[in-house]
Structure 1
């Protein structure tokens, strides 16, 4: 199974710039690149911060671009998003327990898409309602493998300011995943960094956003924005492995021979 992960679009009003970049043009380039190279993907998953402002106009712009995307897609929310505005524009999305979360069953296992947005806060939350929802979805998976997608990392990356803005209820999340016992991978966004490793024995991966990035800087009191290339991930999953490629889709150096 091939899936694509895209994250942190940070769309603003069309025509406006963010960090001296045009988030909408970058998204258009991302979608064109996916269509050209990965039209056979089973699913494209956008892991939050679809909008930078939470404005209806940003979600309308996103909806227009997604009409051009060949593979099917799933949308998750991040801390910059506005749940009500998103649902106004994406009227076909049915909330579960009031949140933008769902599951997809595949031949390789169950994909779970978790809403970690706590509106008004940068940190992600997994309150009792979302924990109960996740517990039910894990129980339904029985002994099948589970692959979890959410915006906020529940694990540290040793970048102090970013680590303080992750998922607050990380311990509660781990307890649920440990109870299921067959969680193969956790995919997140939020950090605007390419990061891979494991958290309490569960493999994890993070990718860059499609607009601006955060610098590789371990200084305790700052987060620096960089213009490193935007990226998306190409993920291959089968019974034996999960392989994640990070693709810099606007890296012009890749064109040389």
Structure 2
């Protein structure tokens, strides 16, 4: 199964910009790139901070942009989102019995579990008792089944002090539920605006750059400095024996060329013949 992971779109109502960038234009470019390269993907998962200030107009723009995708999409909330305004714009979005935007979904790769970690007024995330109870019941029912978890906030410290301070605040309550399930294959999250992958208590995880701005990699600052490093999305291949994530920097326009003995001696770009069609789509089996 091929999955596209997008995160941190941070839309603001047009024609406003955010950190001197146009989030709507950059998301539109991502959608076009996904459609062109990965029309065979089963789903696009967007892991929160869908908008920057949570306005109805920003959610309307988000819907207009994402409705151009050639495949279904799934949305969860981040700390910059507004739950009520989101549900007004996406009334079909699944919710649990308490109205939180979280649900579980059967797929050909296993059970996808989408979590709502939004705490209004807080940059950090939390799973309240009601959300934890829902998750515990959901995971218990799926015991023995492969599970993939999607949430906005990182459940662990990543070495970036400003972001570690606003991660999931009660990850210690989440971890035992995941360990008890026994077949959690991967955690996908957003919030960090950087490509990072690793494992947390033996559970693999990954996160990605946002589609607008990024967080500068600094290990000593306690604030959160930003950058205009390139946006990207993830191309995830879910197989019975592996989870593979590629990172597509979709606005990168650097030269593409054949790597052959004939081109190795090239001393200038003019000596590198361009690929005839570097965007040719080949369906993934």
**Aligning the two structures, in what range does the TM-score lie when normalised by the shorter sequence?**
over 0.9
Judging changes above 3 Å, is the alpha-carbon distance between structure 1 residues 165 and 230 closer, same or farther for their aligned structure 2 residues? same
Q: Which residue of 2 aligns with 1:133?
A: 134
Q: What is the TM-score normalised by the length of structure 2?
A: 0.88
The CA deviation at 1:5 is 0.5
Query: Secondary structure at 2:32's aligned position in 1?
Result: helix
Query: Secondary structure at 1:173's aligned position in 2?
Result: helix
Cα distance in 2 for residues equivalent to 1:30 and 1:52? 18
The reply to whether residue 67 of structure 1 matches residue 67 of structure 2 is yes
Q: Which residue of 2 aligns with 1:92?
A: 92
What is the CA deviation profile of residues 162-182 of structure 1, one whole-angstrom value per residue up to 9, with x for unaligned ones? Answer: 001000110111010011111
Q: Which residue of 1 aligns with 2:12?
A: 12
CA RMSD after TM alignment: 1.0
What is the CA deviation profile of residues 50-107 of structure 1, one whole-angstrom value per residue up to 9, with x for unaligned ones? Answer: 0001000000011111221111010000000000000111111232121111111122
| Greater mean alpha carbon deviation, residues 75-84 or residues 217-226 | 217-226
Q: Which residue of 1 aligns with 2:114?
A: 113
| Greater mean alpha carbon deviation, residues 181-190 or residues 91-100 | 91-100
Total equivalences in the alignment: 257
Cα distance in 2 for residues equivalent to 1:61 and 1:5? 19
What is the CA deviation profile of residues 209-251 of structure 1, one whole-angstrom value per residue up to 9, with x for unaligned ones? Answer: 0000011111132321111110000000111100011110001
Query: Secondary structure at 1:196's aligned position in 2?
Result: strand
Q: Check conservation: 2:143, 2:183, Cα contact below 8 A.
A: no
Q: Check conservation: 2:143, 2:182, Cα contact below 8 A.
A: no
- 1:13-52 aligned at under 5 Å gives the runs 13-52=13-52
| Greater mean alpha carbon deviation, residues 135-144 or residues 39-48 | 135-144
Q: What is the TM-score normalised by the length of structure 1?
A: 0.98
Moved over 6 A (4+): none
What is the CA deviation profile of residues 188-221 of structure 1, one whole-angstrom value per residue up to 9, with x for unaligned ones? Answer: 0000010000001000101000000011111132
Cα distance in 2 for residues equivalent to 1:237 and 1:93? 24
The reply to whether residue 162 of structure 1 matches residue 163 of structure 2 is yes
Cα distance in 2 for residues equivalent to 1:107 and 1:191? 29
Cα distance in 1 for residues equivalent to 2:110 and 2:92? 25
